[in-house]
Amino acid sequence: MTAPLDDVLVLDLTRALAGPHAAMMLGDLGARVIKVESPAGDDTRGWGPPFVDPATDPSGASRESTYFLSTNRNKESITLDLKDPADQEVLARLVERADVLMENFRVGVLDRLGFPVSRLHGLNPRLVVLQITGFGHDGPEASRSGFDQIAQGEGGLMSLTGLAEPTKVGVPIADLLAGMNGAYGVVSALYERERTGRGRVVHTSLLAGMVGVHAFQGTKWTVAREVPGLAGGHHPSIAPYGMFRSRTAPVQIACGSEKLWQAFARELGIDPVEDGFATNSERVANRDALTAVIEGHLADIDAETVLARLDAAGVPAGKVRSLDDVYAWEQTRSQGLLLDVEHPTLGPIQLPGSPIRLDDNPYSGGREQHLAPPTLGQHNASVRAWLDED
């Protein structure tokens, strides 16, 4: 079995989340990813709790951050002090062999370390360089540091999320989207390189990731000149489409068409052409009244019965699951979304898997076997030995 990126070598100079996530996505699809860490290690090795201590080390000296484990599978780790001339030479030798280099330093830092893009391409004209920043590589605020929560606020996402006040998404979505966009840009540049024979620089940022997912909320302003507000648990342009209380638990219901609204209304005994509810525009305008009517019908019905009835009626509906429930759910497991790996100090652990499945692989990603996130400097000797082979 081969994976799509089996012949691609990635140098991952990134830390925290956006860049490591991009590199992990390529690693999932078969790329060899060498993670270059400072001697102190990626910042996320210290982000916790929770930490997990190896059973063989009761002192906890080798504890592992579950945050780091979440975003560094399928990588090798070497430590380099990029201010040390000897280690800079090791990096230069790696650049000569690499297909991709990823970095998310602040603008200008890699240049000051002696590796501007001109030198990188002098060492390797075929190198694809990914640069992830907080607010963009140029412009009046390019020098700002990028952190997820700041980007969620500055990029407008928090102004759309929550009920009483702006709320961040429960995962670092600005980082994750920047990583996804970066990986997408890299594979596009690799494809282009097949025609041109040369690598290029791919830029993306946390800000770009936020603006890039505004979708209909963005055009609500850019075209209609309406400023969107907090959406809460309901869709701002479709009704009923959101979360509703039943007797035992909230359920999510999505009537994305008039046909679905009519099927839903008939199932609950609501007149689908009742005054104020006959069209989607009317239902959006009268959302509070509609919600009250729907929750009145659901008040004496438990959530499982609601979901079963709506499923039989062909109306999209679902639970609000906790993460332990998601990972125990057979549908999640059937999609290869959990990976069993052998960690060098923790032993067997289970990780959330890649969202991509290929037709000849029952597991997520393109690899036949996935690698556990590395310990700090785990591959120092093996990578240096590989460099010395030629």
Which are the catalytic amino acids? 175
173, two tokens? 């979505």
Helix (H, G, I), strand (E, B) or coil at 347: strand
Using CB atoms within 10 Å of the CB of residue 231, give its burial: 0 to 12 exposed, 13 to 18 middle, 19+ buried: middle
Task: Find the helix or strand (DSSP H, E) in which 343 lies.
Answer: strand 338-343
What's 216's DSSP letter?
H
Write the CB contacts of 373 (distance below 8 Å, at least 6 apart in sequence).
Answer: 64, 68, 69, 71, 72, 73, 75, 343, 351
**Type of residue found at 133:** T
Task: Give the burial string for 66-101 (b: 16+ CB within 10 Å, else e).
Answer: ebbbbbbbbbbbbbbebeeeebbebbeebbeebbbb
Strands 338-343 and 347-352 turn out to be: antiparallel
